[in-house]
Amino acid sequence: MGTVLSPIPRLDLSDCSLRTLPSAFGEAADAVVLDLTENPLAALPDGSFLGFTQLQQLVVPKAVQCPGGSGAWQEVTTYGSSRLCQSQRNPCNGSEELAPLCPENAVCAPDGPGLSQCLCAGSFHGYKCLRQDAFPVPLFCSVLGTVTAALSLALWGTQRRHAAGLRGAG
Amino acid sequence: MAVPGRQPANRGLVSRCTHHHVVVFLLTFFSYSLLHASRKTFSNVKVSISSQWTPSCLNSTTFELQPNELWNSNRLFPNAEEATLFLGTLDTIFLFSYAVGLFVSGIVGDRLNLRWVLSFGMCSSALVVFFFGTLTEWLHFYNKWFYCCLWVVNGLLQSTGWPCVVAVMGNWFGKAGRGFVFGLWSACASVGNILGAFLASCVLKYGYEYAFLVTASVQFAGGVIVFCGLLTSPKEVGLPELGADEEGSAEEDANRPLMGDDDADDDDGNYSIQAADTDSQPQAIGFFQACCLPGVVLYSLAYACLKLVNYSFFFWLPFYLSNNFGWKEAEADQLSIWYDVGGIIGGTIQGLISDVLQKRAPVLAISLLFAVGSLFGYSRSPNSKPINAVIMAITGFFIGGPSNMISSAISADLGRQDLVRGSSEALATVTGIVDGTGSIGAAVGQVRRGQGGKGNFERLSGSATGHKYFHYQIVFCTLIDTDQNGIVWCPSEGSEHHLLHPHGGNCFRLQQGINGMNLRDLAALR
C-alpha cells in the first residue's frame, strides 16, 4: 500500500480476516478509536503500536492482550468475544519501571501504548540532542570579515606597501 | 672573553628594533598559535565527535532508545571505545605526516617565498579542517578512510607553519638576544593551546562542527592577514639584512651559532664577513647539505628525545593528576597549565642566560640535569595543589624550557651559521629537520605506547607503580640527554619496559592512555 492514508480518527478493521496486522498498519498512527475485533489475530507483536499516541479506545479479540500489557491502559474490560483497552497511561509519568531514563538533554515522551521515546528537550536538537541553539553565522562572518579586512589593510599599508619582492618565487 | 663582542651586539638589537620587528614577532607568533589552536580544537571536541559517530548504547539492551533515527542512526563505530581508538589513530597519523611534512616544507620554504608558503599552509589547512569537521557533518558523510586521508593532508599542510615562522623570525632577530626573543616567542604553542581550548569551549554547544568552523575560519583569516602583512626579511623594506651592516666583531657574533662546547672561538677574528653575497639572489641549501651542517643531526636527535619526553608529560599530566590525587578533571586540566607556564618562563630565562653567556649547550645541559632532579621531586609530590603546581612549574621550567630553546633559537642559530652565509636560505630547511626529527621521536613514542594492551581501557586507571615507573622512564631518557650534552641517541622505550620492569604491562596500559587521545575521553570510559 503505497498510498498515504489521511488522518483517521476512527478505524474499523473488524472482521477483516486479519491473521497479522497489515504492513502499512503504522500509517494509521493517528487513530483515536480502533476496532480489531472478529479477526483471527494470534498476538500483536511488540512495537506494532509504535507511534499510536492518540489512541484512546482499542478493541481487540479476547484472545489477544492489550498492547503494552494491561498496565499501559487505565481500564481494560472484556465483553463477549472482545477486549476493550481504554485510555493509554503515559509511561513517562510516575515511577513506572517502563519509563526509560533518557540521556542528557532529552525528555521522555509517550510513543504509543506502553511505549515511550526520548525527544530533545527545550532548545536542544540534532543527533542525540547534542546541539543547542543555532550558531549565529551572520554575526560571526561579519565580525571575522571586518576584523580580517581591517587588519589586512592596516598591515599592508604599514608593512608591505613599500616592500620589494627580493625573495620572489622561484 | 665573551664581553667584547656582546656589548655592541646588544645595543644594536635595541636600537634596531623597528615597528616591523614588532609586527613580525606578533604575526609569526599568532600564525603558529592559530595552527596549534586548530590541533587543540580537535582534541577538545573528541567526546562530541565520538558520540556523533556512534549509536547510543545504554547499558541495558531492554530499551532501545526511540526514535531510532535520533539515537541510533549513525553507526560508523559500534561504540565509543572504538571511536576513541580511531581518534587516537588519527592523532598518530597526524604526527607522522606532520613529521614527514616538516622535512619537506622546510625545503620548500627556503626555495619559495616564505610568506606564500606560510599563508598557503594556513589557508589550505584551514580548508582541510573545514572539510574534516564541518562539511562532512553538514552532509552527513561519515567515512573512516576519508577522515584518515584528510588528516594526512592536514598534517602535511600544518607542517609548513613551524619552519616558515622560525625562518622569518631568524631573519629578523639576530643572534644577539635571540635566546631571549625566541624564548618569549615560543610561548606561541601554549597560547595556541589556550586559544583553541577557549574557542572550542565557546561554540561547542552549537555542535562540534562549529568548533571546527570557527577555528578553521580564524586560521584562514590569519593566513590572509599574514599574506597581506608579513615581511619575511628586513631586505624587503630596505633595512639591512642581519649581519650585513653590523660592524666588526658584532657581525661575527651575530652569525656564529652558539652551540660549540669549546669557547675558544670568541676572540678569533678570522671569520670572513660576506657582505657581497646579499646582492645576489641567495641559493637555497640542499636537504643533505643541511643535514651535514655541524650540530644539525645532533640537535635533531636530542630534540627527538626531549620532545618525546615533553609530549608524554604534556598528554599524560591531567590524567595523572586526576588519577593519582583524585582531583577533579577540570581542576587537573587547569593545574596542568602550570607546566606550560614553567616552560615559557624557562625558555625565556634560559634563552636570556644563553645570550649573556653566548653559549647554549651548557645552559641546556645544566637545565636537563636539574630536570632529572625535578622529575624525581615531582614523583614524590605531596597531595597538595599549590605545592604540586610549583613543582610542576619547576619541571616545566627545566624540560619545556630546553625543548622550546632547541626548536626555536637553536634551530635559528644552526640555520644561520657561518657555513651557510654564502647560501643563506637554510633556515627553514634546518628548522624542518630539527623539528621533524623531534616529531618522529614523539610519534614513535606514541606508536610504541599504542602497541601495548589494546582495548584495556578499563585498566587505564593503572597503578601507582605504573605512574612511578613512567617517571623513571622519563628520567632515564633525560639523563641520557644530559650525559651526552645534546648528543643523544634516544633509548628505545619499548624494550626497556620488558627489561627493566617486570610489571611493564601496567605501564603500557597506562601509556595507551597517552596515545594522543584526549584524556577526558578516557576518563569518560573508566
- Which stretches within A2-155 are classed as H helix? 137-155
**B29 pLDDT tier (thresholds 50, 70, 90):** very high
Question: A16-32 burial by CB neighbour count: b if 16+ within 10 A, else e?
Answer: eebeebeeebebbbbbe
Name the residue with higher pLDDT: A74 or B469: A74
pLDDT for the residue B159: 92
Q: Give the residues across from B524 on adjacent strands.
A: none
- Minimal Cα–Cα distance from A167 to chain B, Å? 6
Q: Which helix (H) or strand (E) holds B379?
A: helix B361-379
pLDDT for the residue B279: 42
Asked whether the predicted pLDDT for residue B257 surpasses 70, the reply is no
> Can you give the C-alpha Rg of chain B in angstroms?
23
**AA identity, residue B456:** N
Reference B249, options B10, B413, B414; nearest CA is: B10
Q: List phi, psi (to 5°) of B42.
A: -60, -45
Unique residue bearing C-alpha cell 592536514: B154
ipTM at complex level? 0.79
pLDDT for the residue B330: 67
DSSP A24-59: GGGGGTT-SEEE-TTS----PPTTTTTT--S--EEE
pLDDT for the residue B121: 94
pLDDT for the residue A139: 95
**B514 pLDDT tier (thresholds 50, 70, 90):** very low
Mean pLDDT of B492-509: 29
DSSP B278-334: GTSPPPBPPHHHHHHSTTHHHHHHHHHHHHHHHHHHHHHHHHHHHHHS---HHHHHH
Residues in A closer than 8 angstroms to B27, CB to CB, are 155
DSSP state of B170: H
Question: What part of B 94-153 touches A (C-beta under 8 Å)?
Answer: 112-114, 116
Tell me the C-alpha distance between B344 and B281, whole Å: 37
Asked whether the predicted pLDDT for residue B465 surpasses 50, the reply is no
**C-alpha grid cell, residue B238:** 630596505
**C-alpha grid cell, residue B387:** 605545592
**Cβ-defined contact of B58 to A100 (cutoff 8 Å):** yes
- The set of residues, in sequence order, having a beta carbon less than 8 Å from that of B54 and lying 6+ positions away, is B74, B75, B76, B77, B78, B79, B80, B82, B83
DSSP state of B344: H
Domains of chain B from N-terminus onward? 18-235+285-525 (1.20.1250.20)
List the domain boundaries for chain A.
10-90
Asked whether the predicted pLDDT for residue B453 surpasses 50, the reply is no
Mean pLDDT of A51-70: 84
Name the residue with higher pLDDT: B519 or B155: B155
pLDDT digits (tens, 9 = 90+) for A20-44: 887 788 787 788 888 888 888 877 7
Tell me the C-alpha distance between B384 and B390, whole Å: 10
Asked whether the predicted pLDDT for residue B269 surpasses 60, the reply is no
pLDDT for the residue A95: 57
**Cβ-defined contact of B236 to A165 (cutoff 8 Å):** yes
**Cβ-defined contact of B51 to A130 (cutoff 8 Å):** yes
Asked whether the predicted pLDDT for residue B212 surpasses 90, the reply is yes
Most confident of B137-151, B274-288, B358-372: B137-151
Task: Provide, rounded to the nearest whole percent, the portion of chain A with pLDDT above 70.
Answer: 87
Mean pLDDT of B329-342: 78
pLDDT for the residue B402: 86
Task: Provide, rounded to the nearest whole percent, the portion of chain B with pLDDT above 70.
Answer: 68
pLDDT for the residue B481: 46
- The set of residues, in sequence order, having a beta carbon less than 8 Å from that of B483 and lying 6+ positions away, is none
Reference B151, options B31, B310, B38, B50; nearest CA is: B38
pLDDT for the residue A117: 83
Asked whether the predicted pLDDT for residue A106 surpasses 80, the reply is yes
Name the residue with higher pLDDT: B4 or B84: B84
The closest CB to that of B20, out of A102, A127, A159, belongs to: A159
**Cβ-defined contact of B225 to A148 (cutoff 8 Å):** yes
**AA identity, residue B183:** G
**B100 pLDDT tier (thresholds 50, 70, 90):** very high
Unique residue bearing C-alpha cell 654564502: B422
pLDDT for the residue B310: 77
Reference B173, options B190, B162, B187, B185; nearest CA is: B185
Q: List phi, psi (to 5°) of A12.
A: -105, 105
**Cβ-defined contact of A118 to B217 (cutoff 8 Å):** no
Question: A41-51 burial by CB neighbour count: b if 16+ within 10 A, else e?
Answer: beebeebebbb
Mean pLDDT of A135-150: 94
Asked whether the predicted pLDDT for residue B261 surpasses 60, the reply is no
Residue B392 near residue B339 (C-beta atoms within 8 A): yes
B380 CB within 8 Å of a chain A CB: no
Task: Classify the C-alpha dihedral B171-B173-B177-B178 as positive or negative.
Answer: negative
pLDDT for the residue B215: 93
Question: What part of A 28-57 touches B (C-beta under 8 Å)?
Answer: 50
By C-alpha distance, the chain B residue nearest A51 is: B67
B66 CB within 8 Å of a chain A CB: yes
Task: Provide, rounded to the nearest whole percent, the portion of chain B with pLDDT above 90.
Answer: 16
**Cβ-defined contact of B71 to A118 (cutoff 8 Å):** yes
Asked whether the predicted pLDDT for residue B116 surpasses 50, the reply is yes
- The set of residues, in sequence order, having a beta carbon less than 8 Å from that of B102 and lying 6+ positions away, is B159, B162, B163, B432, B433, B435, B436, B439
Phi-psi region of B106 (alpha: psi -120 to 50; beta: other; left: phi over 0): alpha
Q: Is B6 helix (H, G, I), strand (E, B) or coil?
A: helix
Phi-psi region of A71 (alpha: psi -120 to 50; beta: other; left: phi over 0): alpha
**B122 pLDDT tier (thresholds 50, 70, 90):** very high
Asked whether the predicted pLDDT for residue B498 surpasses 50, the reply is no
Residues in A closer than 8 angstroms to B237, CB to CB, are 159, 162-164
Most confident of B27-31, B174-178, B480-484, B492-496: B27-31
Residues in A closer than 8 angstroms to B114, CB to CB, are 167
pLDDT for the residue B32: 93
Asked whether the predicted pLDDT for residue B525 surpasses 50, the reply is no
- The set of residues, in sequence order, having a beta carbon less than 8 Å from that of B373 and lying 6+ positions away, is none
**AA identity, residue B94:** F
Residue B460 near residue B503 (C-beta atoms within 8 A): no
Reference A162, options B94, B44, B121, B235; nearest CA is: B235
Name the residue with higher pLDDT: B205 or B65: B205
B280 CB within 8 Å of a chain A CB: no
Asked whether the predicted pLDDT for residue B458 surpasses 80, the reply is no
What does each C-alpha distance from B374 to B4, B341, B443, B466 come to in angstroms? 36, 15, 25, 19
By C-alpha distance, the chain A residue nearest B111 is: A170
Asked whether the predicted pLDDT for residue B76 surpasses 60, the reply is yes
pLDDT digits (tens, 9 = 90+) for B215-234: 999 999 999 999 999 988 88
- Minimal Cα–Cα distance from A150 to chain B, Å? 9
Mean pLDDT of B401-411: 85
Tell me the C-alpha distance between B73 and B89, whole Å: 24
**B81 pLDDT tier (thresholds 50, 70, 90):** confident
pLDDT for the residue A169: 37
Asked whether the predicted pLDDT for residue B427 surpasses 60, the reply is yes
pLDDT for the residue B27: 93
- How high does pLDDT run on average in chain B? 72
Residues in A closer than 8 angstroms to B112, CB to CB, are 169-170
The closest CB to that of B232, out of A154, A156, A167, belongs to: A167
